[in-house]
Structures are given as structure tokens and as C-alpha cells.
Chains A and B, each alone.
Chain A
Amino acid sequence: MSMAIEKMGTYARFRQLALPRTLICGMVIIGVSLLIAFFPALFAPYDPIAFDYKALLKGPTLAHPFGTDSFGRDVLSRVIHAYTIDMQIAVFATVGPFIFGTIVGAYVGYAGGLAEATFGRVVDAVITFPFLVLVIAIVSVLGPGLANMYIAVGIVGWVFYARLVAAEVKVQKRLDYADAGRVMGYTPMRIVFRHLLPNAITPAIVYWMTDMALAILLGSSLGYLGLGAQPPAAEWGVQIADGKNFMSTAWWISVFPGIAIVITGLGFSLLGDGLAQLMRVRR
């Protein structure tokens, strides 16, 4: 039995030539999303903030496939233009924490000792607290708007990346090739960044993908609460808030933006899962 199971592992390694299915699905979804985000005007039939008082709260028709809202705006066009804002949120809210968190994590993981102990306390404190509440608190202090949301997320979000990278670096620095580096007299900085980090960064990258999905959820939640993107900007959370009072009469205003959130979130999750699978196979 041991041999048959062993061989399955080798087989999986053969399959690395073909990318995992989840990865491909994720790439397709996100690829299309990025396309729409960069060129919304190509896809949207109408101007997202143009009112049309003659077509208020109309249901889905050929002219307006997703219907219109209480201002007569075309829901489809608004959903499409919202891609720009929401994809922006996904990237801007995560890239800072990713970079900063990775650097801090690498340092803490390698240094150990007091740095590690202090960091551990910080991590405890941060994860103890509800992320959303923290962000809301910071945003309400700084004022509503996307820029402030990025700041708020940045203040807290880096911890999750740092935690992952620190754990990986800690493991990696015990491995033989790290010792080899030390023996050859490499400076710690070089060891960490050129040798340990490329291996240690993998879980952080995978988490980044999932984090982007979470960022969209967070961004749209804040948009819903009125603390994120501000009306009349087209953002999915804002759109859902617009339609929340019309759910029984004009469900399309809120439902379609929500579907966009789900699809995009799924895209990032699949991307993350696919990457994780790919990395597992490579190991």
C-alpha cells in the first residue's frame, strides 16, 4: 500500500505541468473583472450617474437588463462601473498590509527572542478585536471615504501577513540551507531576503488572494453603512444600501450588485485555493 500511495504523490507532481482547475477558473474570473474594471465604459451601456426620471424603478427589460433604481439610473451600468472602485479596494486595501506585514514578519521570525514575544502580544491584541469595528472606529475618526478606509485597514491588516511570514521564516531558518548561508558568512539581511523569504512568502501570497476577497466584503460593508465610497459613486455596497428599502418592490437594485460581489469574491478565493494547490504540489 505504501508504494501505491507513494506513487500517487509522484503523479501529482507530474500534474504540475497542467495548472489546477481552481486556479484557471479564478484567473478567468479575475481577469474578466480586471478588464471590466479598467474599461468600464466599453461594457456599460449607460452613464452610471445619469438620472432618467422617465424610467424610475423599472424592472429588468432589454433596454435595462438589470433594471433601474429610484433615480432612474441603469443598474447594469452602475454594477459595471462599480468594478473599478471595488477592484481598486481589493488591491489598495491589501497591498500595503502585504508588503509591510511581510517585512515585519520576516524580521520577527528571524530575530526571535524579544521581538517575537512583543509581536506575539501585539498579534493577540489585534486579533482579539473585531476587525470591522476597529476599521469603523478609525474611519469615523478620520471621516468617511475610501482613502481613510485604506488607512484604517492598513493600520490593522498587516498583522495577519506578519504572523504568517514570521511562522514560515521561523521554520525555514532552522533548515539546512539557512545554516549553510550562515556558515558562508552571509549577512542576516541577505539570508532572510534572498534565501528564506522566497520560500516563506508563499502562504502570505495565498492569503493575499483571500484577503482581497475579504477586502471587497469589508469595502462593500462600509459602503453599505455609508462610511466607505460615497454616493453617487457606483460601489456595490452603496448600491445595495440604495436598494434596501425597495426590496419588496424593486429587488433588482440590491440583488444584482450582491451577485457581483459574490462572483468576484469567489474568483479571488479560487485564485487563492488554486495557488495553494500549485504550491503544495511544487513542494
Chain B
Amino acid sequence: MPLFSFVLRRILQMIPTVVFILVVTFVLVRLLPGDPASAMLGDRAIDADVERINASLGLDKPIPIQFLYFVKNVFTGDLGTSIALKLPVTTIIMQRLPVTLMLTLMAALLALILAVPLAFLAALKREQTADAVIRGTFQVGLSMPVFYVGILMLTVFGATLKWFPVGGYGDTFGDRLYHLFLPALTLAFSFSAVLMRNLRSSVIGVINAEYVDFARAKGLRPRTIMIRHVLRNALISTVTLFGLQIGTLFGGAVITETVFAVPGAGRLMIDSIYGRDYPVLQGLTIALAVLVSLTFLATDIFQAWLDPRIAR
């Protein structure tokens, strides 16, 4: 059961990271200029009112105490109340985060569908025309900023051809898939380029490995060799890349949600930064950081499953 102990070890390793995240978020938010009370009441606030509200938010207590309250609240699910929307932060996040998650997952899937077959093709036809065309196209895609791709997609497929709706979210699950398709494709565009590049060199490395020759010497079917020997080994380094790209993916999601007016966590983040809505900002940061850590954990575990040398 080496895999099991590996998973356990990694989960335990996550704990200090989570603590670190909480501390950093706490500190950063407190460092931001302006205090929530002034933000809420505006420029013409009276000092007494500001003090009153600050007290009600617990901002007059010493910092360490505040931190303890903070941690307690986080674990009981109380992330405060949004200054702008006057709703509990947890509620707002629960409304908006799933949207972004859906968008990101769709984008990741589309990126894989685009990248994997083409990476294989490029690797197998290395240095030939097909390879150059594939790499060139993806390189151009990589050089296009996300908002540019988004605007083009929106105009061509949304406004002009009217194949897809021009932004928004939709109501039913199917409807949402429909609305999110263009934004997901936009995100997938540059993500697939990064994946393709990595997977291609991975496959090239693997295809020339001795064990592939040995597999051929064993007289295995070509398909067996491709899937069990080549793909599995080539994926190992690409999985790591997947995890590392999560941050970039979210950044892209922020922009995509802006372009397509999708009510997701990305836009929420921008809005709360602009509007100095600290509770929301704080809550989102924590949620985001935890999600990213979980993603890292998941990719690490998947990688260890693929490559048993890691779990040692």
C-alpha cells in the first residue's frame, strides 16, 4: 500500500500550506489601505460611526485575537458579509465559484481533446510538415491574448454567425453548457498550446526509449505499445504541468468572464478588488488557495499512480 501512505503524507503536508494561506490572507487584507467601515459609509462618515462599525467587525481587538476569530470563522463557514452586496460571503462564493469551476473544467477538457491527439501526431511525424504546421498553429494561438481570442470568438460565433449566445450563464445544466462553450473554448485555446508542446516532447522522448523497442521486440500490437507504454509514460510530466497551470487558467478565467459577462468567481474577484469589498476578497482568496492546493494534491496523487517510483 505505498500509494495509500503517499496520499496520507501529502494530505498532511497540505496542512501547513493551508495554515500559511490563512495567515497570508489575513495579513494581506489588513494591509490594504482604507478600512471597511469607511468604505461602507463613504467619504462623509462620522468618526463615531466608523468606530462603531469597526468595533462590530471586531477590528478594535488586538491582531492575534482577530486572527483566532478569523480562523474559527473560516472553519465554521462564516466568511463575513459582503460590504457591497450585503449578503454572507459564503453564500456569494457558493453562487459564483461553481460557475468558474464549470468553465475551467470544460476548458481543461476541451484543451485535452485538442492537445493529446495533435501532440501524438506531431511527435510521430516529427520534423515533417504536419509537425511544423501543428506547432506553428499552436504557437500563434499561444501568442494571442485571452481577451483578444475571446472578443474574436464572441464576434464571429456569437454575434455574426449566431451559433452561440453572446455571454451570460443560462439556467439549466444543458443551457449552461451551451452558454459556457465559447468562453471555455477561448480558455482552452492557449491552455491546449502549452499542453501540446509539453506532451509532444514527452512523447518524442518516450518513443525513443529502449523499453518501447523492447516492447516492439516482444511483438506487441502497435496499439498496445502506444497506449500502455508510450502514452502512460508521456503523460507523467504533462500531469505535473497541468497542476502548475491552474493559476494561469484562473487568470484566464478572470478575463474570459469579463469578456463574456459570465457571473463567475473571476469577475467577483475583480469587482471586489475594485470595490474594496474585503470580506469577499478574503473569502475568495482562501477558497481559491484551498482549491489550488487540492488540485496540486490531486495531480500529485494521479502522478504517483502513473509512476510508482514517486511513491517510494
Shortest distance from the beta carbon of B262 to any chain A beta carbon, whole Å:
15
Q: In whole angstroms, how far apart are the Cα atoms of A254 and B148 in the complex?
A: 8
B154 close to A (CB within 8 Å): yes
A202 close to B (CB within 8 Å): no
Cβ contact within 8 Å between A240 and B151: yes
For window 221-258 of B, CB contacts with A under 8 Å fall at 244, 246-252, 254-255, 258
Whether A129 contacts B140 in the complex (CB less than 8 A), given A251-B155, A261-B148, comes out as: no
Cβ contact within 8 Å between B145 and A132: no
Shortest distance from the beta carbon of A238 to any chain B beta carbon, whole Å:
12
Q: In whole angstroms, how far apart are the Cα atoms of A255 and B160 in the complex?
A: 15
With beta carbons under 8 angstroms apart, the residue of B147, B252, B274, B289 that contacts A240 is B147
Shortest distance from the beta carbon of A67 to any chain B beta carbon, whole Å:
16
Q: In whole angstroms, how far apart are the Cα atoms of A125 and B21 in the complex?
A: 8
Cβ contact within 8 Å between B296 and A269: no
Which of A42-50, A71-79, A217-225 sits within the interface? A217-225
Q: In whole angstroms, how far apart are the Cα atoms of A248 and B247 in the complex?
A: 33
Count, chain A residues at interface, CB 8 A: 35
Whether A130 contacts B247 in the complex (CB less than 8 A), given A140-B274, A248-B155, comes out as: yes
With beta carbons under 8 angstroms apart, the residue of B20, B142, B155, B252 that contacts A125 is B20
Kindly report which residue of chain A lies nearest to residue B145, judged by CB atoms: A217
Majority secondary structure, B binding face: helix
With beta carbons under 8 angstroms apart, the residue of B140, B148, B152, B251 that contacts A132 is B251
A124 close to B (CB within 8 Å): yes
Pick the most buried of A128, A131, A240, A255: most chain B CB atoms within 10 A of its CB. A128
Q: In whole angstroms, how far apart are the Cα atoms of A213 and B246 in the complex?
A: 20
Shortest distance from the beta carbon of B240 to any chain A beta carbon, whole Å:
12
With beta carbons under 8 angstroms apart, the residue of A225, A240, A251, A262 that contacts B258 is A225
Give the size range of B's interface with the partner: 35 or more
Cβ contact within 8 Å between A124 and B247: no
Cβ contact within 8 Å between B140 and A130: no
For window 127-154 of A, CB contacts with B under 8 Å fall at 127-133, 136-137, 140-141
B73 close to A (CB within 8 Å): no
Q: In whole angstroms, how far apart are the Cα atoms of A225 and B269 in the complex?
A: 13
Pick the most buried of A121, A130, A258, A269: most chain B CB atoms within 10 A of its CB. A130
Question: Please, which residues of chain A bring their CB within 8 A of the CB of B247?
Answer: 127-131
B144 close to A (CB within 8 Å): yes
Bitwise interface map of B from 2 to 25 toward A, beta carbon under 8 Å scored 1, else 0:
000000000000000100110010
Kindly report which residue of chain A lies nearest to residue B247, judged by CB atoms: A130
A55 close to B (CB within 8 Å): no
Shortest distance from the beta carbon of A119 to any chain B beta carbon, whole Å:
14
Cβ contact within 8 Å between A128 and B143: no
Question: Please, which residues of chain B bring their CB within 8 A of the CB of A262?
Answer: 140, 143-144
Question: Please, which residues of chain B bring their CB within 8 A of the CB of A255?
Answer: 152
A205 close to B (CB within 8 Å): no
Cβ contact within 8 Å between A128 and B151: no
Question: Please, which residues of chain A bring their CB within 8 A of the CB of B139?
Answer: 266, 269
For window 227-262 of A, CB contacts with B under 8 Å fall at 237, 240, 244, 247-248, 251, 254-255, 258, 261-262
With beta carbons under 8 angstroms apart, the residue of B146, B250, B296 that contacts A133 is B250
Cβ contact within 8 Å between B160 and A131: no
Cβ contact within 8 Å between B143 and A130: no
With beta carbons under 8 angstroms apart, the residue of B249, B255, B269 that contacts A221 is B255
Cβ contact within 8 Å between B145 and A258: yes
Q: In whole angstroms, how far apart are the Cα atoms of A136 and B142 in the complex?
A: 21
B159 close to A (CB within 8 Å): yes
Cβ contact within 8 Å between A237 and B154: no
Question: Please, which residues of chain B bring their CB within 8 A of the CB of A129?
Answer: 247, 288-289, 292
Kindly report which residue of chain A lies nearest to residue B148, judged by CB atoms: A258
Whether A266 contacts B145 in the complex (CB less than 8 A), given A128-B292, A132-B255, A225-B258, comes out as: no
Q: In whole angstroms, how far apart are the Cα atoms of A266 and B144 in the complex?
A: 9
Pick the most buried of A125, A133, A258, A269: most chain B CB atoms within 10 A of its CB. A133
B33 close to A (CB within 8 Å): yes
Shortest distance from the beta carbon of B263 to any chain A beta carbon, whole Å:
17
A265 close to B (CB within 8 Å): yes
Question: Please, which residues of chain B bring their CB within 8 A of the CB of A217?
Answer: 143, 145-146
Shortest distance from the beta carbon of B273 to any chain A beta carbon, whole Å:
5
Question: Please, which residues of chain A bring their CB within 8 A of the CB of B246?
Answer: 130
Shortest distance from the beta carbon of B271 to any chain A beta carbon, whole Å:
11
Q: A125-B21, A131-B247, A131-B248 are known contacts; what are 7 more A-B pairs with Cβ within 8 Å? A: A129-B288, A129-B289, A133-B269, A237-B147, A244-B151, A261-B143, A269-B139
Which residues of A pack against B, CB within 8 Å? 121, 124-125, 127-133, 136-137, 140-141, 213, 217, 220-221, 224-225, 237, 240, 244, 247-248, 251, 254-255, 258, 261-263, 265-266, 269
**6 pairs from A and B in contact (CB 8 Å cutoff):** A128-B247, A213-B143, A221-B147, A225-B255, A240-B148, A261-B148
Q: Which 3 A-B pairs have the closest CB atoms?
A: A132-B251, A265-B143, A247-B155
